[in-house]
């Protein structure tokens, strides 16, 4: 489910403040008939906002089955945001399954060699996971073949 499905045009901007956004989150989580699920993925940008608090609050009534998977990129600016999200999860007692490093190298479509477009200047997700005692679940490279299959 996406707010994009409810807009008149793909070019429309959503300009909402707290109560309206939180109401939509509540409606998505409580009123959508999700059917029988193995997983429900809530994709949010890394930050500690009202939206994150709302998601955790609305899902807390469904028991302790909820966990998070943290996605980052190798650059320090991304890791700084992700560290805050990790602390948020810890404070609200949302278990973290692990971390995935996206854009971890670039796979050349011609020669298949991997190069670092976004070098992990401070050690990337692996070092952050070591420092915070988290599991690095994997690395996803930039690979043009992913978008064509």
Tell me the average confidence (pLDDT) per consecutive run of 10 residues in the chain, 149 residues long.
Answer: 83 84 84 84 76 82 78 91 92 92 86 81 89 95 75
pTM beyond cutoff 0.75? yes
Residue 62's pLDDT is what?
A: 65
Alpha-carbon span 88 to 6, nearest angstrom: 30
Residue 149's pLDDT is what?
A: 62
Residue 127's pLDDT is what?
A: 93
Residue 48's pLDDT is what?
A: 64
Residue 141's pLDDT is what?
A: 86
Residue 64's pLDDT is what?
A: 61
Residue 2's pLDDT is what?
A: 82
Tell me the domains of the chain and their CATH numbers: 3-148 (3.40.50.300)
Residue 136's pLDDT is what?
A: 97
Alpha-carbon span 134 to 96, nearest angstrom: 8
Alpha helices in 61-134 (DSSP H): 76-91, 124-132
Alpha-carbon span 32 to 34, nearest angstrom: 6
């Amino acid at each position: 489910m996406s707010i994009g499905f409810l807009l008149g045009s793909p070019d429309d901007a959503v300009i909402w403040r707290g109560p309206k956004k939180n109401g939509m989150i509540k409606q998505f989580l409580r009123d959508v008939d999700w059917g029988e699920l193995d997983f429900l993925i809530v994709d949010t940008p890394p930050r500690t906002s009202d939206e994150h608090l709302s998601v955790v609050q609305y899902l807390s009534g469904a028991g302790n089955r909820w966990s998070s998977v943290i996605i980052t990129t190798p650059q320090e600016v991304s890791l700084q945001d992700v560290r805050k999200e990790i602390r948020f999860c810890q404070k609200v007692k949302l278990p973290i399954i692990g971390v995935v490093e996206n854009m971890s190298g670039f796979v050349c479509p011609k020669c298949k060699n991997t190069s670092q477009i976004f070098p992990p200047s401070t050690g990337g997700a692996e070092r952050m996971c070591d420092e915070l005692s988290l599991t690095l679940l994997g690395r996803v490279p930039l690979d043009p073949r992913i978008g064509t299959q």
